[in-house]
A and B are shown apart, each in its own frame.
Chain A
Amino acid sequence: MKRPFDVFLAVAAGLMLAFLLLPLLALFLRVPPGTLLSQLGSDVARDALLVSLKTSAIAHAFILGIGTPAAYLLATRRFPGRDLLVTLTELPLVLPPAVAGIALLAAFGRAGLLGGTLETAGITIPFTQAAVVLAVIFVASPFYVRLGIAAFESVDQSFLEASRTLGASSRRTFLRVALPLAAGELSAGSALAFARGLGEFGATIMFAGSLQGRTQTLPLAIYAELDLNFDVALAVGAFLVLVSISVLLAVKFLPSWTRFTSTSLFAGAPSRSS
């Protein structure tokens, strides 16, 4: 009785896996590796790589710098409206990217909500790298905040209490106890957010436009080169697949690796202070 069902499960899993992997494999088989490499050196690909790296790095600094304390607050404090707040920060996760694009235009565009204020301050955001950075932060930060909340929640609360009863300030408790203990899962969240930001397309093309060397990121370069030079598009695509695989490996192995080192470090701490 059980056997046919097991066969069904195996077939379903096999189909699923084949469907997911075949297109990615095809990307690499379509053009020889040498061509892929040389196309990655083309002007368009190089410019896009630089734009992507620069905007992703700036966006990521903001995501980590603001997202970490925000996640800590949402994980450790209980206050009215907290659940609503957590849900709201998750909204961009499920929002279609095109909606993110027009929403950003509606807020920061010249004719947008803050457009007039920004303009009098001499700032215009659409069509600039700042627009790319905002789009990346908007779509990627929820990934980090969401995993960050989970990371801080999974830290054993008795450690935090112990730290406080031993006289550490809440700032010191955050920096010396909570942060090291959550570091592994925070890194995983950080890697996921970085990957999502690097792949950002819909919001960027609507809000920042597409100009080589300025706002044309790697995904936008794929779109622009699709008809002009399919090989460049393929090469950039293959490159992004490799980045994604590295991120996935990082997400898988970072938490267990740092959990091991940080807990062993922490294990020595109480004995020293006692």
Chain B
Amino acid sequence: MYAAASLTEVFQAIDPNAAFNFAGSDDLATQIKENAPADVYAAASPKYPEELFKAGLVEKPQVFATNRLVLIVPTSNPAGIESVADLGRKGVKLVIGAEGVPIGDYTRKVLENMGATNVLTNVVSQEDDVKGVVGKVALGEADAGFVYVTDVKPVAAKVRAIELPDSAQARVEYEIAVVKATDHRGAAQEFVDRVLGKDGRRALLKAGFGLP
């Protein structure tokens, strides 16, 4: 199972026995293009699954979950960040996802929606997946970062989440598809069905995801 880093906890809960490869959705797409032995591909955006579908590498992708972005700060909040507006202050260390990585593209979209793209000048690092952003904020090295709301729970003791207005949210949709080259089509389809089914939906809701 090749799945976006933000699905780490919930997918392990849905099927503890499956073998997972969690990474940035874009990296996983590259690996599948290079014939990596994947059975299922679950991504944090429709962009890469649709691309792979057009290339004939995966079956028709299906939306199975939605997510929201939040701003996180270390519990100690060294820069005193209370809102997105505070991110533009001089010396603030902001960490975001790199361009081309779903969380990075969504972050830019949210900042655009809020008319706050000026805060990008305070970016000190562009991480290759969302866990890189979470880690650097949770360690207290960065002052703030944009992540999915579902990333907050595992590090709830170390970070504080600041909600973003609904009007600013990007449409974050997760898509899942069976990889055409799989040697385990039956098991792969079973896993997809389980994610789309009652158990999967319950686990996704519990982890803070939205349902399509």
Q: Which residues of A contact B (CB under 8 A)?
A: 105, 109-111, 124, 126-127, 205, 208-212, 214-215, 223-224, 226-228, 230
Contact = CB atoms under 8 A, between A and B. Distances in A.
A228 B100 contact: yes
Given A227-B26, A227-B100, A212 B126 contact: yes
A209 B125 contact: yes
SS of A interface (majority): loop
A230 B27 CA distance: 11
Contact of B124 (A109, A127, A205): A127
Nearest to B25: A227
**Most chain B CB inside 10 Å of its own CB: which residue of A105, A110, A212:** A110
Given A228-B99, A228-B100, A110 B140 contact: yes
A210 B123 CA distance: 10
Contacts of A210: 98, 125-128
**Most chain A CB inside 10 Å of its own CB: which residue of B125, B128, B132:** B125
Contacts of B124: 127, 209, 211, 214
A211 B29 contact: no
Contacts of B30: 226-227, 230
B93 interface: yes
Contact of A127 (B24, B27, B78, B141): B141
28 contacts: A105-B139, A109-B139, A110-B140, A110-B141, A111-B140, A124-B93, A126-B141, A127-B93, A127-B124, A127-B141, A209-B95, A209-B124, A209-B126, A210-B128, A211-B123, A211-B126, A223-B128, A224-B98, A224-B128, A227-B24, A227-B26, A227-B27, A227-B30, A227-B100, A227-B101, A228-B26, A228-B99, A228-B100
Contacts of A226: 27, 30
A182 to B, nearest CB: 40
Interface of B: 24, 26-27, 29-30, 78, 93, 95, 98-101, 123-128, 132, 136, 139-142
A223 B101 CA distance: 12
Nearest first, the 9 closest Cβ-Cβ pairs linking A and B are A209-B125, A127-B124, A227-B26, A111-B140, A228-B100, A126-B141, A227-B30, A109-B141, A211-B125
Nearest to A223: B128
B94 to A, nearest CB: 10
Given A208-B125, A210-B128, A227-B101, 8 more contacts: A209-B136, A210-B126, A210-B127, A223-B128, A227-B24, A227-B29, A227-B100, A228-B26
Contact of A110 (B78, B101, B132): B78
A215 B125 contact: yes
A45 to B, nearest CB: 16
B141 to A, nearest CB: 5
Contacts of A205: 132
Contacts of B132: 205
Contacts of B128: 210, 223-224
Contacts of B141: 105, 109-111, 126-127
A215 B136 CA distance: 15
A47 to B, nearest CB: 13
Contacts of A224: 98, 126, 128
Nearest to B30: A227
**Most chain A CB inside 10 Å of its own CB: which residue of B78, B95, B128:** B128
Contacts of A126: 141
A227 B124 CA distance: 21
Contacts of A127: 93, 124-125, 141-142
A130 to B, nearest CB: 13
Contacts of A227: 24, 26-27, 29-30, 100-101
A127 B142 CA distance: 9
Contacts of B100: 227-228
A194 B95 CA distance: 30
Nearest to A126: B141
